[in-house]
Amino acid sequence: MTIPHWNYARWGLAVVIALCAFWIGTHQAHSAMKIKADVETFVFNGPWYTDDFGAKEATPMTRAYTAVVGLLALSRQETLYYMAREDSDGEPMTADYVYEITGGDLPSRWWSITLYGDDHFLLDNEYGKFSVKATDLEREEDGTFKVVISREPQPGNWIPMAGEAGEEVSLLLRMYNPNDGVLDRLQDIDMPEIRRVRKAS
């Protein structure tokens, strides 16, 4: 049986419409997942926020967010995740600025802070350095620390900034084997402050 040419055109148009709808839906879902306020179960602590990443009780929205940002989430008893996309003044973090992270030790066996780009991947840099770790930090006599995020190398604790001008960046703080009771006071942990220092040169 011969299929009229107009049927081919109709099928072709239907395929194009379906592909466009799929792309728009995926793009909107991805954009929604990037907006932390869209996830109602998030717990905020200063510029940092967390949720039941890796928990059996995680909601479908949380699971979708976890998939989008690329977290290979361990159970909460093993690792507690805090993310920050803004500084402590509520300004979005971008590759255009120098930042300082200050604070003290966190209630866990071991912890780290890692810098990511807007696509939730590591920001490639010539130094091959993307994070700071609790065991490697230089500290003041009172146990506090300061980490600088900048394009220019810095003495002491330093994470290289990279990325395109205007690109939003984020931080992921991992607390491995959190101390007893930590999961019951997620909003009360003394989390590091994130301050914008100046425009990057």
Looking at residue 71, which CATH number applies to its domain?
Answer: 2.60.120.600
Residue 25 in domain: no
* In a domain? residue 4: no
pTM here is 0.72
Q: Is residue 189 part of a domain?
A: yes
10-residue mean pLDDT series, the chain (201 residues): 54 51 41 48 90 55 50 66 95 96 95 93 92 94 96 95 92 93 90 95 78
Query: In this structure, is residue 63 part of a structural domain?
Result: yes
- Domains: count for the chain: 1
61 CB burial (10 A radius; 0-12, 13-18, 19+): middle
DSSP single-letter state for residue 92? B
H and E: helices and strands count for the chain: 2, 10
Residue 69's domain spans which residues? 35-199
Strands 145-150 and 157-160: parallel
Domain annotation covers residue 67: yes
